[in-house]
Chains A and B, each alone.
Chain A
């Protein structure tokens, strides 16, 4: 038996950088360093663990849709231990929204061939957390999302989803789309050997025509939403800061009473 896992990873602007918008109100990707979304490292980690714990012949492919620099994200995932990578890159992808991204990802995983797709819980820039559900809808396969624990055995994926009201045990047959949370277990650091090995691993590049997609279906033109304005949140007016000299608790209570919280 063999198991083909495709991990979807996003290249995002560093959250600790000064993120902002470009003139066309898309996320500015030039002024802030990019990296593999930390939340997708958890997806790569779970794919590698499933591979390591399996008696089957497992192949882990990492897939990204993004600009030229997004190769860095693939390289990092390969150095963690993934086997090969696919980069979907096309100028017409600029400004693609979540619906469009899920379309491109669906076409790409179908072309690549898959038994299991593993995604992160959300991208650290868009933070929508909807692409895995959209991907499952498009592929017509079960959605087993937001797992804090995941395992695959004999064509079945099982996992635990910690929801607001309850913690649920889920189960579905493969093929399926899974997403994992940052509670699923720390992601490994690439080893020196892993970094060297990654340089020799194959990275395939596909554009829209490789996926039988038209420019109008994606990008700003294909977007289903329009951003009318983006304004920087005004800095909060400087608050009062006191040093506790024994009266700090009382002073704070006084402030809270003044604001009618007590």
Chain B
């Protein structure tokens, strides 16, 4: 069966969930060969093998951490040249999309970004995308070269499919461009202990209606009662009530959880762009006319300062 390259997103060897989802999709169109780069690359093999990777190509060099994007493109290109895959799948993070685009240009291939599903097709893989703030669904394919496709988190289930992932060293020689953009400092994000926003099964978000940074404690309490991630609208972020890393929407994160709970959020098109593909949507808003109610499976017209704490209490009681 044809091989499919999967670019591994990991932090010091800990593989992030979207990569495991890519392995599920990759198995539909071929046999997955993973590419892991940087510190801890070889440590990814065990978990990748459990999810279907037949081979893991690894390479570690300080360039991956010290320079932006290009060293990773060089490595992925080396992997494409050694494997001649049927497709290349990359997680749809901001960086993932940049890596994928530059790779596609170099190997003379087309690129599809932000796929939410991939199926095998007669003329190569068919990617489903959700466009115009998720108001349309399109199906596309790459018509020239080896398809390069970036896939959004939560687009497929993580499935166990034990394969024996042979670890092989990838030979990489860096291009002249590799050292063009130097990373002169790095401040790691502090962990909140809550699930990653884009990967969470449940997201609880607050907007302008939350009315103050201190009131986000109410949103966090609800999130914690459900084991959820916390999101925020741009209005709440711009007001300085919650960090930009938690923003949901067009210029923030795009989320697609099983359950999305919006409190004090009106549902502007740019916010919907980042959450409209959530499976179940719930909103609490005191304005019965708020556009968010057009999307909901269940909506409560009411004051979030009454409804949210009482919901949290009830959940705690039921969970015992």
Q: Please measure, in the bound complex, the distance between the C-alpha atom of A65 and the C-alpha atom of B97, giving whole angstroms.
A: 22
**Pick the contact of B132 from A20, A128, A164, A172 — CB < 8 Å?**
A20
- Contact pattern, A 161-172, Cβ under 8 Å of B = 1, otherwise 0: 111111111111
Q: Are A233 and B138 in contact (CB under 8 A)?
A: no
Which residues of B are found within 8 Å of A230, using beta-carbon distances?
Answer: 131, 136-139
Tell whether A240 pairs with B97 under 8 Å between CB atoms, given A128-B113, A171-B182, A225-B112: no
Shortest Cβ distance from A20 into chain B, in angstroms? Answer: 7
For residues 293 through 320 of chain B, which have their beta carbon under 8 Å from a beta carbon of chain A?
A: 293-303, 306-315, 318-319
Indicate if the CB atoms of B309 and A249 lie closer than 8 Å. yes
A183 on the B face (CB < 8 A): yes
Chain A 194-230 interface mask (CB, 8 Å, partner B; 1/0): 0000000000000000000000000000011111111
A244–B251 touching, CB < 8 Å:
no
Answer yes or no: A111 CB below 8 A from chain B CBs: no
Cross-chain contact B309 with A130 (CB below 8 angstroms): no
B186 touches A140 (CB 8 A): no
CB of B96, distance to nearest CB on chain A (Å): 10
Q: Which of A69-77, A81-89, A95-103 is the contact stretch?
A: A95-103
Q: Which residues of A contact B141 (CB under 8 A)?
A: 225-226, 228
Given contacts A97-B110, A130-B97, A130-B111, contact A224 B104 (CB under 8 A): yes
Contacts known (A171-B184, A241-B299, A250-B314); A225 close to B306, Cβ less than 8 A:
no
| Cross-chain pairs A/B with CB under 8 angstroms, 26 sampled | A20-B132, A99-B104, A127-B114, A128-B97, A128-B101, A130-B97, A130-B113, A137-B102, A163-B95, A168-B186, A170-B184, A224-B143, A226-B142, A226-B143, A232-B135, A233-B135, A233-B276, A236-B281, A236-B294, A239-B298, A240-B299, A241-B293, A241-B296, A243-B301, A249-B314, A262-B319
**Interface positions of A (Cβ within 8 A of B):** 15-16, 19-21, 25, 39, 97-99, 102, 121-122, 124-125, 127-130, 133-134, 136-138, 140-146, 148, 158, 161-173, 176, 181-183, 223-233, 236, 239-244, 246, 248-253, 255-257, 259, 261-262
